[in-house]
Amino acid sequence: AQSVTQLDSHVSVSEGTPVLLRCNYSSSYSPSLFWYVQHPNKGLQLLLKYTSAATLVKGINGFEAEFKKSETSFHLTKPSAHMSDAAEYFCVVSEIGTYKYIFGTGTRLKVLA
Amino acid sequence: EADIYQTPRYLVIGTGKKITLECSQTMGHDKMYWYQQDPGMELHLIHYSYGVNSTEKGDLSSESTVSRIRTEHFPLTLESARPSHTSQYLCASSEGRLTYEQYFGPGTRLTVT
């Protein structure tokens, strides 16, 4: 069975410093992986996705993620945090055979001025 | 900008009332989903649909029901609202292939008094 683990429930960074949000996955197959962002009282917005093409995936707003099969990881990074990045971030894997998506428990990113 | 809509955005209603949360998408997606999300928490799948006249219960038990009579429309109904139903409800759609992302509506925040 597939699963996703977000290793940190809360991350705090100072504005202008790098962001690292960690995600590990479990899958018997080559997975499709996604990162979504959710601002308060809003729906989820896709940041980026991995679908077995390039292992380094670039997304919107300067975010990128690297798929590492040997480490079963798909960590989200950004070189320089902005105040507007403060939000909840979800790592997601699509489930083989069911058309369902498995969500991580989320990481709340706080950006300090 | 995703073309998926939810109404109402906010709803405060008394115990025992029947309510229907509306979700519509204009992208022609076959797959549609309802998630329940408590504030600051993960998403729980409560219903999904593979296409017209096809609906399935999700991983989280819910007293709500859904219908899919038209491709673009996926309403969720609570026959008798209770305070335990207070939550945010998110609707999503996707093209259905596992490499394709979900598009989310803005959500309906429901409060049952």
Q: Would you call B40 an interface residue with chain A, using a CB distance cutoff of 8 Å?
A: yes
Cα B68 to Cα B54: distance, rounded to the nearest angstrom: 7
For residue range B22-64, what is the model confidence (pLDDT) as tens digits? 999 999 999 999 999 988 788 999 999 999 999 999 888 788 9
Chain B residues with CB-CB distance to A41 below 8 A: 107, 109
Q: Would you call B31 an interface residue with chain A, using a CB distance cutoff of 8 Å?
A: yes
Amino acid (one-letter) located at B49: S
Task: List the structure tokens of B57.
Answer: 């219960």
Considering only CB atoms, B104 lies closest to which of A44, A49, A106, namely A44
pLDDT number for residue B40: 79
Q: Strand B54-57 and strand A10-14: pairing? A: unpaired
Instruction: Note whether B96 contacts A99, CB cutoff 8 Å.
Output: yes
Cα of first residue to Cα of last residue in chain A, in angstroms, is: 41
For residue range A65-103, what is the model confidence (pLDDT) as tens digits? 999 999 999 999 999 999 999 999 999 998 777 778 899
Beta-bridge partners for A111: A13
Amino acid (one-letter) located at B16: G
For residue range A13-69, what is the model confidence (pLDDT) as tens digits? 999 999 999 999 998 777 889 999 999 888 899 999 998 778 899 999 999 999 999
Q: Would you call A40 an interface residue with chain B, using a CB distance cutoff of 8 Å?
A: no
For residue range B75-103, what is the model confidence (pLDDT) as tens digits? 999 999 999 999 999 999 998 676 688 99
pLDDT number for residue B65: 94
Inter-residue contact A5 to B73 (CB < 8 Å):
no
User: Which residue on chain A is closest to B110 by alpha carbon?
Assistant: A41
Task: List the structure tokens of B29.
Answer: 């997606």
Q: Strand B87-94 and strand B31-37: pairing? A: antiparallel
Q: Is the pLDDT of residue A1 over 80?
A: no
Q: Give all strands (DSSP E) within B1-113, no chain letters.
A: 4-7, 10-13, 19-25, 31-37, 44-51, 54-57, 65-66, 76-78, 87-94, 103-104, 108-112
CA distances B38 to A26, B43, B79, B107, Å, are 25, 8, 20, 12
Instruction: Note whether B41 contacts A106, CB cutoff 8 Å.
Output: yes
